[in-house]
Amino acid sequence: MRDHSAESRLFNRRSLVAILGTFALICVLLGNLYYLQFEQHETYTTRSNDNRIKVLPIAPPRGLVYDRNGVLLAENRPNFSLEIIPENVDDLDQMIAELSELLALSENDVERFQQNRKHTRRFKPVVLKSQLTEQQVAMFSVQQHKFHGASIDASLIRFYPYGDSLTHLLGYVARINAKDLERLEKENKLAEYDATRTIGKQGIERYYEEILHGSVGYQEVEVNNRGRIIRTMKIVPPIPGKDLYLNVDIRLQLEAQRLLAGRRGSAVLLDAKTSGVLAMVSSPSYDPNLFVNGISSKNYNKLLNSTDRPLINRATKGVYPPASTVKPQLAVMGLELGKITVEQRMWDPGWFQIPNTKRRFRDWKRWGHGWVDVYKAIEQSVDTYFYKLAYETGIDEMHAYMSKFGFGKYTGIDIHEESRANMPSREWKRARYRQPWWQGDTISVGIGQGYWTTTPIQLAQATNILVNKGKIITPRILKSVGDANSHIGLPPQIQAPIALNSDKNWQVALDGMYGVINKSNGTARKAFEDTTYVAAGKSGTAQVVGIAEDAEYDAESLKEQHRDNAMFVAYAPFEKPEIVASVVVENAGGGSSNAAPVIRELFDSYFETKETF
């Protein structure tokens, strides 16, 4: 017999449990809906928008660079690049192969892409091909639907209209590499370069990177499920970098480059009043535009392996014995220390000998100069006079005094590529060679040879200190910083001056330099004949290799790289100096016959165009 009453009660109990369970589940569902819709509304709305809205950085236009007369030296030109975001590509190798066939890409393009991809995050675009032609842009645009993850980017790239004429001064920009990223990350500046692909590498471009770069902008865009932009919702424009106006005059720069064409050397021209760099040439040079989009291995190896070393900025990193160009400064030292006087004369037989030794240090004129005073010693570059001065002064006082003129120190010029060269001392030789300092070392230093080395910018600076009678102004390439509306001039950076016991000693050295060019026996009188201005200067012929005591110097018998360097420093006009120059021509021979004519032509160009400065 079935108990219908018991079955009914069991059914009712089960139904109640089912109803309660269902109600509980509905309550959980409703509670979760409330949590999602109300408690977590903002969170999930933001996540949704992140999938729908993207913030894209916009690179700021780089500041332009002008010369002192407003001539454009570094500009920005439109560029179209093919970019790929690796994360959005299913088969990257297949896509690159198809794009290579479509756009005729080179092996270098592909190789450079693969190298850059290693140093770039997968979600960031990597350039496959830059500087696309209009035809290539059109061909890709037609087939773009086949290449998900690839796109054309329009941007501005740096261009240097004067090519190799200003390379070592302006420097160049190049692609940001792993080392740059590491440095930017340490400096907390990585976000500032989100959309920027190049950065200053050398010269002015590197030194004033923060001024030239500007501030990044951004745009908010809505994208579909394939990542394509549907519409732009908001734009915050970038702030362009500020423009730079240099002290450089491009006419003087081009003239200096022309005069040094085909030769290894350097020329530096400074404004005597402000130490502004009017021209700075290192020869040979190279085209900086090669580096902007990534130089090929072939072209880079050609520059790197060249025996002429075009990558070196000879004006600031080339080190040479100063030779006789520093005799005016040595004369000031001798007068100040009381080692020589204006009235004092010495007999020059053509050689100098340290007491109780056998070796003779020869003068360039083998039969000597006869009776010599300080004026004649500078005017005719009498080695014997300065041998004796060095011997009586000693290396300790020479090192201390010549360091005041900036030898062995950075000049502080506004580029990073600079050498201190070497103003030798006892301590330096012991540390470098583990040897004591000998008296013979001092004698060589007395004529700017031996262990003493300098750079062309140091020579120009030391000459300018002499011209300004002890006033020291740091050399500057940059004249002012500006924007579209105005630009602000930078005041000269003045350092503590060199104070003398008698200011007349400055004029003694300057009068000696006047005689070099304007007296009948001056070593550079022929180079400056018939000028419309009065100049003063000092020649130097620096030995590259030693010559035996009794041997004759024969340039023809030596390898070219072993021949003497020609050097010359000068300023003009003599009474009220406006321009100072130093020139080095490597392995050319005598300074008066090979370097002085270069300065003569540069001075001629300066005074011919002076009214437009």
The catalytic residues are: 324
- CA 44 from chain center: how many Å? 51
* Residue where the block lists tokens 């297949």: 94
For 220, the 3-state DSSP assignment is strand
3-state helix, strand, coil in the chain (%, to 5): 40, 20, 40
Give the number of C-alpha atoms closer than 13 A to the C-alpha of residue 107, restricted to the C-beta side: 2
In angstroms, the CA 481 to CA 487 distance is 5
Q: Which residues pair with 219 in a beta bridge?
A: 56, 235
CB 248 within 8 A of CB 260: no
In angstroms, what CA-CA distances link 182 with 60, 119, 176, 214? 21, 11, 10, 20
Q: Please enumerate in sequence order all residues whose Cβ is within 8 A of that of 466, keeping only pairs 6 or more positions apart, or say none.
A: 328, 329, 332, 405, 506, 509, 510
CB 391 within 8 A of CB 185: no
For 218, the 3-state DSSP assignment is strand
In angstroms, the CA 404 to CA 421 distance is 14
Number of H helices, E strands in the chain: 23, 23
Tell me, what amino acid is at 446? Answer: G
In angstroms, the CA 362 to CA 132 distance is 65
In angstroms, the CA 142 to CA 165 distance is 41
* Residue where the block lists tokens 């032609």: 133
CB 321 within 8 A of CB 133: no
Asked whether the bond before 577 is cis by omega within 30 degrees of 0, the reply is: no
* Residue where the block lists tokens 């005597």: 272
Instruction: From 153, 195, 161, 137, select the one nearest 288 (Cα to Cα).
Output: 161
